[in-house]
């Protein structure tokens, strides 16, 4: 996912992180300068749902406007399936079900 706070804020006429930080504080969310920098530059490490709710309230937006899905990154991170050689087949995997145990006493 990509964090889109700066673009959403700009669409609402907020061009500086200090201005957004002040508006968030007015709404009851005190954010440190360091955390605000991370949110503004698009590299937040974590965000609480309560904080996200206040950010959405201040910007009059929904979380889906702030969090942009990137399915191509997920597809690129998936392991590739094994290639079948020209003359052979891919060996099948057999699950191991534990040791050969006897049935419990009756």
Is residue 73 assigned to a domain? no
Is residue 39 assigned to a domain? yes
Cα 18 to Cα 37: distance, rounded to the nearest angstrom = 9
The CATH number that applies at residue 39 is 1.10.260
Write the DSSP assignment of 47-85 as a string of letters: --HHHHHHHHHHHT--HHHHEE--HHHHHHHSPPPPPPP
Is residue 47 assigned to a domain? yes
- Mean pLDDT for 82-94 is 58
Is residue 59 assigned to a domain? yes
What band does 2 get if pLDDT is binned at 50, 70 and 90?
confident
- Look at residue 69 and tell me whether its pLDDT is greater than 90: no
Q: Which residue has the tokens 């930080």?
A: 21
What band does 97 get if pLDDT is binned at 50, 70 and 90?
low
Reported as a single tens digit per residue, the pLDDT across 6-61 is 999 999 999 999 999 999 999 999 999 999 999 999 887 789 999 999 999 999 99
Identify the domain containing residue 6 by its residue range.
2-68
The DSSP H or E segment spanning 6 is helix 5-11
- What pTM was computed for the model? 0.67
Say how many domains are in the chain: 1
**Burial grade of 9 (CB within 10 A; 0-12, 13-18, 19 or more):** buried
- Mean pLDDT for 59-82 is 83
């Amino acid at each position: 996912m990509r964090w889109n706070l700066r673009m959403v804020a700009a669409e609402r006429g907020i061009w500086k992180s200090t201005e957004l930080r002040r508006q968030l504080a007015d709404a009851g969310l005190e954010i440190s300068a360091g955390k605000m920098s991370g949110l503004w530059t698009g590299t937040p490490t974590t965000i609480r749902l309560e904080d996200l709710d206040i950010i959405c309230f201040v910007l009059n937006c929904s979380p889906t406007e702030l969090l942009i899905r990137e399915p191509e990154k997920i597809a690129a991170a998936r392991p590739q399936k094994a290639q079948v050689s020209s003359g052979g087949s891919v060996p099948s995997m057999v699950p191991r079900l534990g040791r050969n145990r006897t049935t419990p006493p009756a």
